[in-house]
Structure formats: structure tokens, C-alpha cells
A and B are shown apart, each in its own frame.
Chain A
Amino acid sequence: MRNTKKTPRSKKTGLKPAAIWSIIAIVFIAELFLYTWCRVQCVKTGYEITKETDKKLKLISLQNNLKVEIAHLKSPQRIARIATMQLGLIIPTPEKMIIIP
């Protein structure tokens, strides 16, 4: 009777540390994976940030070029040339001016 009682006890005491070590190992491995995943994500995000920063700089550059283009298109010389040559407009004389109150 004593022997039959002892056997399950020893089985129980033998499994417990293994389970604990397994859980600890799983936690450590999971932490390792999590850490690695974080680092990978970090680097990946770094690349994305760099890519987006480059894109932003390119867009700013494009915007600046467009601003220059607008400034050129709105230049008085160009507008006067189009107004006189293409549209046949003239500078109004004072009697043709209407001042809106």
C-alpha cells in the first residue's frame, strides 16, 4: 500500500520542475522572438521613415519648383505680352476707367 502511494507522488514531483523549466524556456524563447520581432520592426520602420522622408523632400523640391514656375508664369512681362499680343488688350486711358466705389 505504501509503495502504491509513493509512486504517483514521485511522478508528480518529477513532472513539476520539468513543466516549470519548460514554461521558463518558452517564456525566454518567446521573449527572444518578441525582441527580435521588435528589432526587425524597428529597422523596417527606420527604412520606411527614410523612404517617407526622401519622398517628403522630393515633394518639397517639386513644390518649390512649382512655386518658381508659378512665379515665372505670373511675371508681369509674360502677362503683358499675352494681354497685348494674343488678346489685343491695351492700357485703359483715364476716361475709360471705372472706379468702383
Chain B
Amino acid sequence: MKAVETKYIKFRITIVGFVFTAFLSAIGAKAGYLQIYQSSWLAKKASAQYERPFKELGKRGTIYDANLREMAVSINATSIAAYPRKIQDPAATAKKLANSLNMDSGILQGRLLAKKPFIWVKRQATPKEISAVKSLNLEGVGFLSETSRFYPQKTLAAQTIGFTGMDGNGLEGIEFYYDNQLKGSDFEYVVLKDALGQGFDSEKTTTDYSGKNIVLTIDQNIQYITEKALKEAVDENYAKSGIAVVMSPRTGAILSMAQYPSLNPNSYEKFDRHLWRNRVITDPFEPGSTMKIFTAAAAIEHGNCSENTIFFCENGEYRIGKHTIHDTHPYGWLTLKEVVKLSSNIGAFKVVNKTGPEYLYKTLKDFGFGEKTGINCPGETSGTIASYKNWRAIDVGAISFGQGMSASPLQLLSAVSAIANDGILMKPYIVQAIMDQKGFTVTRFDPLQVRQAVSSATAGKMKDILMSVTEKDGTGFNAALEGYTVCGKTGTAQKTDETGRYAKGKYISSFVGFTPADNPEIAILVMVDEPTKNHYGGIVSAPAFKKIAQETLTYMNVQPKNRDAGKLRVSRERELLG
């Protein structure tokens, strides 16, 4: 036995050794192959078991007013989603969901039966709806966290700020114009999960992927004052709509931009589409008699006229070819100042005849008519003004008192602001800064001079003329303020109908001006569309101008001038004693 064992022992050892070596070599080769050639695939497979990737979109930036008060913010919202392949009984699930969410169960069932891996049941549901659906404990129904846009001031400056769609894309106004800056960036992060699928650590970095914040030049309080006065003017005159804008003439900063009827951007889809756009910027109007400001400015600047140059106003009726132009009251000889003060159409025509259409055209272009102001808002119109070479005699007359051409309310206000600003036309702007999430300014928009529209001397003379409009016998007396001097001009423009002819009884009543005259702080435009009670700008729009100006100057702490110190002291003592 021993001899046999000894005989084969070496052979057997060799065989076993060989087998072991072969197996170990195979294992080693396989291990080497897996480690060298399959490592990334294996690592991915392993990580899939304990890592869970998430993709998120950074929060949309906030829109602030000039005092850093929120006008548009992003808030967290929960949306309800469904995974149809995981739902056993779509009919029952649809019925339960429809009851909780007040939806049509038939439509919902149809969507659940679709062979899609994922569907939205309700985006940005209310907390009540969320808890109702959670209590149902339905299989295949999930809740996803999203951000939703919210406008805490509701209707305030609604068309100016605009709104976003369901996916957070800006659709109108500032939201649309600055969509790229406001939008947050996409980012991915990984959450490690345990055996139970619970997340216990994440590789989410502290980097802020939120969008940038926008700071407007609009002041919430001035915006409110403007909207309130505009609403009253529209309601009192049974008008169709209205527009009002307040601007700082020295800088071109828009302090408020209102239109009525307004809309609530939190539920913009419930409002008619024509209310969505910012008509202050997008819609051209015939400005009417407010254009006499620029007719007079052209006459002083280029026509060798002074405010005392006299014109014969034909006693209220003047024939130009086939057409006849009228004044509301018959006037004989009027000075240039009186032509503006009493708003004589015939006088304005005579003024242009003396100045020359070429110079009127040049002056209008210098004031920015016929070109976009370049404001940082979408959809701006440039208005229309034909070249003076194409003007017929009647066109000269019509343009001198604001017909046969068009301008946006913003263009008109910018041009009047240039008179207030010693003849310097400023570029209007509504966004003063873009900030990052930490509050550091990324971009700042400073006031920008466009050009010297008329000389400072002409602007000074125009101020005197415009101040006379708000005197007791002027057309704009209703805009006169207690304690402040007001320069302004009324406008009553007839509207055209679908055929392009002037419609009977349809007017745009306006008043544009600035105050205080010596050191203008604000320029205001009020336009009321189709007032039915009265249609004169001095009766319809001037009182709204007055309200806006009075309250805004008080809010801005602009000291009234025509009050002596003695009365002030008595008033103060009385207040203290009382």
C-alpha cells in the first residue's frame, strides 16, 4: 500500500496542483478582465443600486420694485403625476382622483389608459387637493415638487410685469423680456439611498442655481396711486379703458405704468387676451392736441417765433382745399401761447405754415416720434409719421394738431419729459438693475441721454406756455395743483373706425404734463379711451392727472412752493396742541 501511495503521490500532487493552477488562472484572468475592461460598467451597475440621480431647475429670480418690495416671486408648489403602467384599475383611480380634484373622470380615465410611462394629473395643485389625494393612497400616483410663479400685488402693474406659463417661461412683459436672466439653470445631483430606498446623503452642492433678480424703477405706491386715479377716471366717464404713466423727466425712469382694465397675472388665462399686452408700449394712438406742444416748440426753435407771435384763427373755421378745420370756440387773433393754451387747431396750422413742414418734421423726429424709445419692454411700437415730403396741405394741418400720425403713450410722455428736462430727450427705462441671488448688482442701467431735442431756451419758453394751459382760463385748469406749478396740455383725438374714417362720438381724451414747473420731479400722461360722459381731455383726463400728481408729490416729499412759512408754523402748532 505504502509503495503504491508513494508511487503516485507526486503524480497526484502534480495533477491537483495543475488543476488548482488552472482554476486560479481562470479566476485571475476573469478578475483581470472584469477589473480592466468591465470596471466602468460594473461600477455603474453597483452605483445604480445605491445612488439616485435627481434633475432640478433652479428657482426663477424675483422681480422687485424700486424699494425692493416683491412684485413677482417663485414659491414651492406640488404637482400630482401618475405612472399609468403601475395603475391596476385606471377607471377606479380616475374616478377617485376626479372627485378629489374636481376634474372630469372620463377625460382623466382616457389619459390613464394611454400607454405613457408618465402623465401630469394636475400641475401646481392646492394644499387641500394634495392632502385629499394623499389620503386616497393610490398606487401609481405620485407628488412632484415644483416652483410656481406668484404675484403678491395681484393686479398692480400686471401688464408691465407680465406673467409666466405653467413651465415657468416668461410669456409677457418684463417676465418675457428678461426671461433668460430670470430663469434658473438646470442642475443634477445624486442622493445615496440605503437598502430600504431611503436617501441618507446627497452630493447636492451649495451652488445657487436660481435665476437673477430684477429691480424695477416702478414704485409700488406711485403705481397704486396711478391705478386708483385711472380707474376712477375711466369709471366716472363710463369709458372703455385707460392708460396712465408717471416718469421722472430728469432720468427717464418709469415710476408707474398703469392700464385699466387690468388683469390678475396669478390667473391670467381667465382674462381676455387683449388685456395681456402692455398697451402703453405696444399700441400707437393719434395723440390729438397734445402734439401742439411740439408744433409750438418747432416754431420757437426753427420758425423765428416767440410766445407772443400772433396768428389769425379765422373765427373758428378754416378751409384747406376740400377740407375744413374747426376750433371748439371761434377765435380771432391769438398769440402762440394762446394757441396752445386755448388749443386752437387753426392756430396750430397757421403756426406750421410759418415754421415750415420740414422743421415740424425735424422737431418731431428729434423728440423721438416715429422711432422706438428703446425701453426694456417687449413689443414696442415705433408709431407712424410720414416724411414731410409726402405731406399734403391737409396733412400739415392734421399733424400740427396730432392727427394723421400715431405715437405710443410712452413716446408722447418721453417727448414731453424732454421739455421738462431742458430740451434733453432721455431714454425711458423700467429696469434699473439686475442682481444675483446674493444681492450683488450684476448689471446696472443708468439714465441715458438720447439727444438735445430743442435748445434749453426753447424748452424754457415752452414751460411758460404750458404753464398757462393750467391757468384759470386754460383748457387744462382741472389739472392745476394746490401748492405746485403744473405745465401740461390737453388732448382730444377722434378715433378711427374699421374703415379708417373718423368715428363719430369715439374719442381718446388725454392730458400730459409735468410738475413742479421750475424743477420737474414727475411727468404724467393720462389717456382715457372712449369716454361717453364727456370727451374733452381737460374734463376727463386732467382731474386724474391732478390726483396722481398731488398724491405722488406728497409721497415723494416734494415741498409745496406757494405756501408761506407763517401759515406752516400755525398749522404745526395747531396740530401739536390738538
Q: Which residues of A are at the interface with B, using a C-beta cutoff of 8 A? A: 43, 46-47, 49-50, 53, 61, 64-65, 67-68, 71-72, 74-77, 80, 91-99
Q: Which residues of B are at the interface with A, using a C-beta cutoff of 8 A? A: 69-70, 73, 75-76, 150, 152-154, 156, 192, 194, 199-202, 204, 220-221, 223-224, 228, 481-484, 550-551, 554, 557, 559-560, 563, 567-568, 571-572, 575
Residue in contact with B482 in the complex, picked from A46, A72, A93, CB distance below 8 Å: A93
Complex-state Cα separation, A95 to B204, whole angstroms: 61
For residue B90, give the distance in angstroms from its CB to the closest CB of chain A: 33
Given known contacts A50-B201, A68-B75, A75 and B152 CB-to-CB distance under 8 angstroms: yes
For residue B545, give the distance in angstroms from its CB to the closest CB of chain A: 15
B482 engages A77 (CB within 8 Å): no
Can you name the residue of chain B whose Cβ is closest to the Cβ of A72? Answer: B152
- A-B pairs with beta carbons under 8 Å apart, 25 shown: A46-B200, A50-B201, A53-B204, A61-B76, A64-B75, A64-B76, A68-B70, A68-B75, A68-B150, A71-B69, A71-B153, A72-B153, A74-B69, A75-B153, A75-B154, A76-B224, A91-B551, A91-B554, A93-B482, A94-B481, A94-B554, A94-B563, A95-B482, A95-B483, A95-B567
Complex-state Cα separation, A75 to B157, whole angstroms: 12
Complex-state Cα separation, A71 to B153, whole angstroms: 7
> What are the residues of chain A within 8 A of B156 when measuring CB–CB?
75-77
B554 engages A92 (CB within 8 Å): yes
Complex-state Cα separation, A92 to B94, whole angstroms: 59
Task: Please name the 4 residue pairs, one residue from A and one from B, whose CB atoms are nearest each other, closest first.
Answer: A94-B483, A76-B224, A71-B152, A46-B201
Given known contacts A43-B200, A80-B224, A93-B482, A99 and B559 CB-to-CB distance under 8 angstroms: yes
> What are the residues of chain B within 8 A of A67 when measuring CB–CB?
70, 73
> What are the residues of chain B within 8 A of A99 when measuring CB–CB?
557, 559, 568
Complex-state Cα separation, A4 to B465, whole angstroms: 136
A47 engages B200 (CB within 8 Å): yes
> What are the residues of chain B within 8 A of A46 when measuring CB–CB?
192, 200-201
Can you name the residue of chain B whose Cβ is closest to the Cβ of A43? Answer: B200
For residue B383, give the distance in angstroms from its CB to the closest CB of chain A: 32
Complex-state Cα separation, A71 to B73, whole angstroms: 10
Can you name the residue of chain A whose Cβ is closest to the Cβ of B553? Answer: A94
Can you name the residue of chain B whose Cβ is closest to the Cβ of A62? Answer: B76
> What are the residues of chain B within 8 A of A76 when measuring CB–CB?
156, 220-221, 223-224
> What are the residues of chain A within 8 A of B69 when measuring CB–CB?
71, 74
| Given A80-B228, A91-B554, 6 further pairs, Cβ under 8 A | A71-B73, A71-B152, A71-B153, A95-B563, A97-B554, A99-B559
Given known contacts A46-B200, A75-B153, A76-B220, A68 and B73 CB-to-CB distance under 8 angstroms: yes
Complex-state Cα separation, A94 to B551, whole angstroms: 10
Complex-state Cα separation, A68 to B266, whole angstroms: 13
B200, B482, B550, B560 — most chain A CB neighbours (10 Å): B200
How many interface contacts (CB-CB < 8 Å) are there between A and B? 78
For residue B503, give the distance in angstroms from its CB to the closest CB of chain A: 35
> What are the residues of chain A within 8 A of B560 when measuring CB–CB?
94, 97
> What are the residues of chain A within 8 A of B559 when measuring CB–CB?
99
> What are the residues of chain B within 8 A of A50 when measuring CB–CB?
199-202
A49 engages B224 (CB within 8 Å): no
For residue A65, give the distance in angstroms from its CB to the closest CB of chain B: 7
A76, A95, A97, A98 — most chain B CB neighbours (10 Å): A76
Can you name the residue of chain A whose Cβ is closest to the Cβ of B559? Answer: A99
Complex-state Cα separation, A98 to B223, whole angstroms: 24
Can you name the residue of chain B whose Cβ is closest to the Cβ of A65? Answer: B75
Complex-state Cα separation, A91 to B220, whole angstroms: 17
For residue A63, give the distance in angstroms from its CB to the closest CB of chain B: 11
For residue B372, give the distance in angstroms from its CB to the closest CB of chain A: 31
> What are the residues of chain A within 8 A of B223 when measuring CB–CB?
76
Given known contacts A67-B70, A91-B551, A99-B559, A53 and B202 CB-to-CB distance under 8 angstroms: yes
For residue B196, give the distance in angstroms from its CB to the closest CB of chain A: 11
For residue A21, give the distance in angstroms from its CB to the closest CB of chain B: 29
B571 engages A96 (CB within 8 Å): yes
Complex-state Cα separation, A64 to B572, whole angstroms: 43
Complex-state Cα separation, A68 to B559, whole angstroms: 34
Residue in contact with A95 in the complex, picked from B152, B154, B200, B571, CB distance below 8 Å: B571
Complex-state Cα separation, A37 to B164, whole angstroms: 52
Complex-state Cα separation, A24 to B152, whole angstroms: 70
Can you name the residue of chain B whose Cβ is closest to the Cβ of A51? Answer: B200
Complex-state Cα separation, A94 to B515, whole angstroms: 14
Complex-state Cα separation, A93 to B307, whole angstroms: 34
Complex-state Cα separation, A63 to B154, whole angstroms: 20
> What are the residues of chain B within 8 A of A91 when measuring CB–CB?
550-551, 554
